[in-house]
Structure 1
């Protein structure tokens, strides 16, 4: 985010006030009987603009805090006002308003230090005017009023500035405290949700009766809803934090959409929705994680508001780029609601509507991410006919060279040796149990200090305590083995930050809570890497 150039604003204001003062002098000169009295002021104003315009250009060219430049600008302002008041006498009395304007402008933009300096220069200027102008010496009480006004108004402004600064510091401190709390809560809350999901997957693979499987299905469905709500809150926190710097890379658009569909397979089954995905071979330059979040939120909305109806997801040319289009045949959105649906917590409700889970954050997150990665989101809808959501502005790029491989199956995990490093006991137990259900041979570690392993694949949490991180543990194992063992990190921290920090290590990164299908798909991809390295 670009810092506001307050000095440039003050330089612009200087030209505006100078123009207004010049116009006033011209009007007074034309109405007065002694026009020649005001001619020196007009010549001086020509000199003033000759200096003020280059000064503004210099501020724009070389922004920053330069005390001498600001002092010079204030001296120019007060010298010009003093000249007008001395030469013009009684007729230029209204120009005094510009004295207050300049004083408060410097104080409000640059702080109390400059407010005090400007006030001191203003009082000195008034003193010079009093000594050099017979009119003012003949009006001592009027002049005293100007002196008092020049002191009282900036003093009151100083009080307001002080209160504003204190309130701002308190707000910043509270925001930092909130950020620390949310960062810690993010990690701590992800862990139990993550472990519950893995335990549920273990139960689903056990030999249970129909009634027990139905109960497991209900648990999984409720957990999915909690995960969606939780991720929405964390997405809003991440976007509000303002520290997200998305990195674009070539992405296979068809594969990204297929992953989103796979992750929503169970949710679609619960909603009675058939997700139809048209094949796509295009590659685009985009941040894959943020684009996937946009598509995920749009798909989640269709599952909530268009249950029992098919949903079509496809890609179409749009201008010089591509657009992702999601169609549903739900009840649609009335025209008066469309401008509002991207606002936080806004939900379209009708009389006797049943309650729909969610906080009304999904489309708000989509809109904010679209601004962040320079995409455009468009929503068209007709009551009774359905809704079309379109993500536009995707830039096509040349596809990466890839080797087609057969679709992996779960049997390829049989006998796979996995080194699992996780400091949370429940997550360690749940992940280990699920991997063993899939046929893996699991070697578990509760911390990453001194870990050595002859494994085929490493799975590690990023945060393993104060001594060593997951990435450091992976690096140590790879160095001990002498080759780049395929590895995966599951983290409860901001995933974009972790991706950026570890982009050079060739590690797959998943954000907790991880759905079992997502974990299995990533694990199967790593088995391909392992097979290609060892052959």
Structure 2
């Protein structure tokens, strides 16, 4: 059985972690009080006991200050049981603090002068934790405490310069603290506005620039099937490779802007790790060929609780970094159990990262650059996104690297799950021929994207009805592909609802967007509708279309 002392110590430690982790000002103040009051009591009891506790006032003071410790414990208990902002509770705590100090200073003579240090600390602490209003109230209480102590403390009255010093210090220090707080708040507001402006700019720029890149990608896919010669085909391949790099850049910008917005909330569900890894390998197989990298994955049947989209984002960024910084060397992805948890590990045999860079590689926009290094595409956001997304799901990200031998990145802390995982859509067998004669309603307000998408779908054998806005009459469509932003305050969600009403059935739908998937998913309110991020890879569009066909046939 645990000792009471160790139990109390453990409980206090947990409360302190909660207070600092959640920036709970009132709980933090209560914990500080539990530390100061015993020290306060020891000093007062020692001083009075050394004089023999000769007077009734001294005995009453000792009893009063000793009784304040259990009161402090009760205050903390109430704060833990009923967290929140209660003005009366804060004022009761402040009155208790200043009452105990006033009593000691009034009775103890010059020996109680050091108590003023605690009084000033408490005054500043209330202002720092609770704001300017409480700082003013605390300053008034401190001045009242000095005045009362002066009335009853004959030794203080005999030296007026002490009183003048105490009063001036009580006025000047809080006033200076308040001016610093105001300057800090103004600087913090400016920093928040600048951060918000940066996030909005990144999100808007990423969205606007995705449109033409998305159209170019689709037109390039059309050129592949245009019967070009070998030289022309190679040019198309080069264009496609460059577009793939630019698309990755904009995906990173959108990810970081979305994380800055603070609106990303993980949706944990049973996920088969092997399915996530297999999908990432499929997505980056072409990029691996361009980088002359053997991208391999070890089969894994473990099921964990995680957000599949966020976990995939983490793994995509890690693999993308490995392909960029370790070209020509093998990359291996696998998972294993570690201390009751599951970890996903990515290894490469590239040049490695010098030790002096290891602490900074997770910073935004930081790239490892050595003299004479070749240029590497990207802006240094990949690992920053990985760590921030991992933090949202309570995961740890570890990086180990040895110069000349390679790098390993580990996503650790995944919780094993016995529940059955939802089967990944990528696991459905693809049947390209099934698209012949598929009747597609395509809704897109950008003319270039509309033309490029319609041309590509027609090359795949689809019968396409292209619309720049939501149609007003129904037809015998098999599937609807819609952009999210359609103009006129209409979105893809409105389009899907309208189309389903027009034909009186739940037609399969696909949404293509340059916005954050979480935001679009909330607007849709339907987890069954696939969401594709612009610029969409033609192979990805074809895969999702085929999946919808197979699902419809069942």
Q: TM-score, normalised by structure 1?
A: 0.91
Q: What is the Cα deviation at residue 381 of structure 1?
A: 4.2
Q: How does 1:67-146 map to 2 (within 5 A)?
A: 67-146=87-166
Call closer, same or farther: CA 1:79–1:382 in 2, change over 3 Å. closer
- Kept in 2, the 8 Å contact 1:41–1:87? The answer is yes
**Structure 2 residue matching 1:246: 3-state secondary structure:** coil
- Find the partner of 1:152 among 172, 178, 183: 172
Change (3 A) 1:276 1:120: closer
> Is the Cα–Cα contact under 8 Å of residues 273 and 303 in structure 2 kept in the other structure?
yes
C-alpha distance in 2 between matches for 1:314 and 1:50: 55
* 8 A contact 1:449–1:467 mirrored in 2: no
| 2:428 and 2:547 in contact (8 A); partners too | no
- For residue 457 of structure 1, report the CA deviation from its aligned partner: 0.7
Alignment partner, residue 476 of structure 1: 498
Between the aligned partners of 1:133 and 1:381, the Cα distance in structure 2 is 68
Query: Which residue pairs with 1:161 in the alignment?
Result: 181
| TM-score normalized by the length of structure 2 | 0.88
Q: Does 1:20 align with 2:52?
A: no
Q: How far did residue 83 of structure 1 move? A: 0.8
Task: Say whether 1:391 aligns with 2:391.
Answer: no
Listed as ranges, the matches of 1:175-190 within 5 Å are 175-190=195-210
Partner residue in 1 for 2:11: none
The answer to whether the 8 Å contact 1:285/1:397 transfers is no
The answer to whether the Cα contact below 8 Å between 1:474 and 1:487 also exists between their aligned partners in 2 is yes
Q: What secondary structure sits across from 2:270 in the alignment? A: strand
1:495 aligns with 2:517: yes
Partner of 2:436: 414
Residues 123 and 226 from structure 1, CA distance in 2 versus in 1: closer, same or farther, beyond 3 angstroms? same
The 2-side partners of 1:156 and 1:276 are apart by: 62
Distance 1:302 1:428 in 2: 35
Alignment CA distance shift 1:347-1:163 (3 Å): closer
Q: What is the distance in 2 between the residues matched to 1:381 and 1:362? A: 16
Q: What is the distance in 2 between the residues matched to 1:374 and 1:420? A: 40
Partner of 2:54: 36
Offset at residue 190 of structure 1 (A): 2.0
The Cα of 1:238 is off from its aligned counterpart by 2.1
1:383 positional shift: 4.2
Q: 2:146 and 2:421 mapped to 1: Cα distance? A: 73
1:325-404 alignment, distance < 5 Å: 325-333=345-353, 337-394=357-414, 395-399=416-420
In structure 2, do the counterparts of structure 1 residues 350 and 451 end up closer, same or farther at CA, with 3 Å as the change threshold?
farther
Cα offset for 1:241?
2.6
Equivalent residue number for residue 284 of structure 2: 264
By how many angstroms is 1:279 displaced?
Answer: 4.3
Distance in structure 2 (CA, Å) of the matches to 1:365 and 1:267? 20
> What SS does the aligned partner of 1:464 have?
strand
User: What is the match of residue 5 of structure 1?
Assistant: 24
Rate the CA distance shift 1:284–1:75 in 2: closer, same or farther, 3 A.
closer
Give yes or no for contact 1:322–1:396 (8 Å, CA) kept in 2: no
Q: What are the Cα deviations for residues 282-333 of structure 1, in whole angstroms up to 9, with x where unaligned? A: 5443211111112212221221222223333344454545443333333344
Q: Does structure 1 residue 242 correspond to structure 2 residue 268?
A: no
- Mind listing any 5+ residue stretches in structure 1 that lack a counterpart? none
Which residue among 305, 315, 324 is the counterpart of 1:295? 315
SS at match of 2:346: strand
Instruction: Indicate the residue corresponding to 2:229 in structure 1.
Output: 209
Are the equivalent residues in 2 in contact too, given 1:313–1:327 (CA < 8 A)? yes
Give the corresponding residue for 2:7: none
Q: Give the conservation status (yes or no) of the 8 Å contact 2:517–2:533.
A: yes
Q: Distance in 2 between matches of 1:29 and 1:452?
A: 92
In structure 2, distance between residues paired with 1:282 and 1:10: 45
Residue matched to 1:221: 241
Residue in structure 2 matched with residue 528 of structure 1 by the alignment: 550
Gap change, CA 1:125 and 1:333, over 3 Å in 2: closer
Return closer, same or farther for 1:353/1:470 CA change in 2, 3 Å cut-off: same
Give the count of matched residue pairs.
531
- 8 A contact 2:438–2:463 mirrored in 1: yes
* 2:456 aligns with one of 434, 438, 445: 434
Task: Identify which of 321, 324, 339 aligns with 1:304.
Answer: 324
Does the 8 A contact of 2:271 with 2:422 survive in 1? Answer: no
The answer to whether the 8 Å contact 1:375/1:391 transfers is yes
> Does the C-alpha gap of structure 1 residues 175 and 355 become closer, same or farther in structure 2, counting only changes over 3 Å?
closer
RMSD: 2.7
Q: Provide the rounded CA distance (Å) in 2 between the counterparts of 1:505 and 1:391.
A: 26
> Per the alignment, do residues 6 and 399 of structure 1 end up closer, same or farther by CA in structure 2, a change over 3 Å counting?
closer
Mapped to 2, the partners of 1:517 and 1:155 lie a distance apart of 65
Matched position secondary structure for 1:212: helix
Tell me the SS of whatever aligns to 1:342.
coil
